[in-house]
Amino acid sequence: MTPSDTPGSPGDARGRWSDLERPPLNATALRRGLVRPGGLWTELEVVRATGSTNTDLVTRARAGAPEGAVLIAEEQTAGRGRLDRAWTAPARSGLFFSILLRPGGAGVPTERWGWLPLLAGVAAAGALSRTAGVDTALKWPNDLLVTVAGEERKFGGILAERAGDAVVIGMGLNVSLRAGELPVPTAGSLALANAISTDRDPLLRAVLRSIAEWYGEWRRFEGDPGASGLQETYAAGCATLGRQVRAELPGGRERVGEAVAIDGDGRLVLATEGGVQEPVSAGDIVHLRSVPREE
């Protein structure tokens, strides 16, 4: 047991068992199930609390940490989403972790590394649909959605950061959050979506195993999103496609149109007024309405 895995004392109000409905992750069992010779995951650490697992792992990546390092926090005090937005949740109410990948070592050209957060989304959505029994969907570029009381809600987000020849991918997933604990009314959780299980250990194992499978296939085809099946699978699970959306772009610009495709670079293609198709590589996407399909 590493120091970071050590339980709190019985008198510590913030000890590991202070909320019996939210038991701590079993770091030893997770390592035993995931860290194996020849596998992607090379080391796994669970810490009680940290500012941001992404920040910590980026630092380790620059210091030479190996591909396949996994850092998990029971609580993040300065979790970050895209555009430096805060990500907050009660301790042990979700899965907050980062992984370190070095795709260049497998011959994947850097221009294809932008697919990694989309790959993580595909892997997580598939794993959680199977393990939690909840239909999940992807919102371009890096959100995960569930349906709560008939409404589409965000319950997870992904953040990818370059660190030299490494990419650190952070993921935050709301698992057991109750309605009164949601950071914003439009958020959701697996529990609120009536998941058949909110046991975080099997959920995390399923997500990490799915990421390893998808990453292995993607690397086998040198990051080609078409040959690896990633582009097609992402499009099939993307709730943004077929919707009228507003793209809020850098510099205060906006575009409104129908989201019609994910191109070979992972960009969202919008069909704007006049029939012009415009790829969007970065920005916030607001779902406006579904576009009726012709029979």
Q: Read off the pLDDT band of 123 (50, 70, 90).
A: very high
Domain holding 253: CATH number?
A: 2.30.30.100
- Start-to-end CA span in the chain (Å): 60
State residue 251's pLDDT score: 87
Kindly tell me if the per-residue pLDDT of 177 is higher than 50: yes
List, as one string, the DSSP characters of 164-205: TTEEEEEEEEE-S--GGG-SSTTB--TTTTT-S---HHHHHH
Same domain, 179 and 203: yes
Q: Which of 194, 217, 236 is the last residue of a domain?
A: 236
Q: Which of 236, 251, 279 is the last residue of a domain?
A: 236
224-257 pLDDT, tens digit per residue, is 999 999 999 999 999 999 999 999 998 889 999 9
The predicted model gives 213-232 an average pLDDT of 98
141 within 8 A of 118, measured Cβ to Cβ: yes
Query: Residue 208, SS3?
Result: helix
Domain holding 92: CATH number?
A: 3.30.930.10
* Backbone angle region of 66, left / alpha / beta, with phi > 0 → left and psi within -120 to 50 → alpha: beta
What stretch of H or E contains 120?
helix 116-132
Exposure of 182 in the CB half-sphere (CA atoms within 13 A): 17
State residue 17's pLDDT score: 46
Which one is predicted more confidently, 109 or 18?
109
| Owning domain of residue 286 | 243-290
Same domain, 143 and 172: yes
Same domain, 178 and 281: no
Same domain, 10 and 152: yes
Pairwise CA distance, residues 74 & 16, whole Å: 9
Same domain, 218 and 286: no
Pairwise CA distance, residues 175 & 173, whole Å: 6
Structure-block tokens of residue 105: 């070592």
State residue 79's pLDDT score: 59
Query: Residue 237, SS3?
Result: coil
Does a structural domain hold residue 130? yes
Q: How many domains does the chain have?
A: 2
Same domain, 195 and 264: no
Same domain, 84 and 144: yes
Does a structural domain hold residue 210? yes
Average model confidence (pLDDT) across the chain: 90
Q: Quick one: 148 exposed, middle or buried, by C-beta within 10 A (0-12, 13-18, 19+)?
A: buried
Does a structural domain hold residue 232? yes
State residue 273's pLDDT score: 85
Does a structural domain hold residue 295? no
Same domain, 217 and 254: no
57 within 8 A of 102, measured Cβ to Cβ: no
Q: What is the pTM of this model?
A: 0.90
State residue 80's pLDDT score: 54
